[in-house]
């Protein structure tokens, strides 16, 4: 049974490689994220997985987003990926009896930035219409009468 954080990490990485059969690249990503986490915990004075608290995990997430651990700031999606690795490791530690519970289980990842879709330019619209066949495309763009009604679709300037 592992006693230190580093020993538990080595056991988990071996588990990922041997028992779960993860690829070299995936295991390398887990190793990188979890080495950063274990380094953070060691800087906080934590020596064994059983001593990790929810507060440690929450503060680590804040450190990832702010660079508070002296390393590069991570985006929300990279922080979520790292937190997923942390949850997996703590779940492994719990399953192996190295910790009584998973302190990362209920820690939420930061919300991802929501981006608006980009509008296409007028020139691109023109190219699309030309590619579709200008006459045919215009008839499909709302200048035909609506079926089953007496209204027309189309620009307001074209109304009688």
Which sign does the torsion angle of CA 88, 24, 76, 74 carry?
A: positive
Residue 63: pLDDT over 90 = yes
8 A C-beta contact, residue 76 and residue 65: yes
Looking at residue 140, what is its pLDDT? 55
Structural domains of the chain, ranges and CATH numbers in brackets: 5-95 (1.10.150), 122-158 (no CATH)
What's the pTM? 0.69
8 A C-beta contact, residue 104 and residue 90: yes
Angle at which helix 76-95 crosses helix 54-66, to 10 degrees, equals 160
Q: How far apart are CA 40 and CA 132, in angstroms?
A: 58
Looking at residue 125, what is its pLDDT? 87
Residues sharing a CB contact under 8 Å with residue 10, sequence separation 6 or more, in sequence order: 2
> For all residues of the chain together, what is the average pLDDT?
85
Question: How does pLDDT run across 35-52, given as a tens digit for each residue?
Answer: 999 999 999 999 999 999
Looking at residue 159, what is its pLDDT? 52
Q: How far apart are CA 65 and CA 91, in angstroms?
A: 23
Looking at residue 33, what is its pLDDT? 96
Mean pLDDT of 130-150: 59
Looking at residue 85, what is its pLDDT? 96
């Amino acid at each position: 049974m592992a006693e230190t954080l580093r020993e538990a990490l080595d056991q988990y990485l071996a588990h990922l490689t041997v028992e779960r059969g993860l690829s070299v690249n995936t295991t390398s990503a887990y190793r990188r994220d979890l080495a950063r986490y274990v380094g953070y915990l060691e800087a906080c004075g934590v020596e064994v997985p059983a001593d990790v608290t929810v507060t440690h995990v929450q503060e680590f997430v804040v450190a990832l987003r702010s660079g508070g651990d002296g390393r590069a700031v991570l985006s929300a999606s990279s922080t979520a990926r790292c937190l997923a690795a942390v949850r997996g490791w703590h779940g492994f530690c719990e399953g192996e009896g190295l910790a009584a519970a998973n302190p990362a289980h209920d820690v939420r990842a930061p919300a991802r930035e929501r981006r608006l879709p980009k509008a296409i330019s007028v020139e691109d619209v023109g190219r699309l219409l030309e590619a579709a066949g200008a006459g045919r495309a215009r008839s499909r763009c709302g200048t035909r009468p609506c079926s089953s009604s007496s209204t027309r679709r189309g620009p307001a300037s074209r109304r009688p």
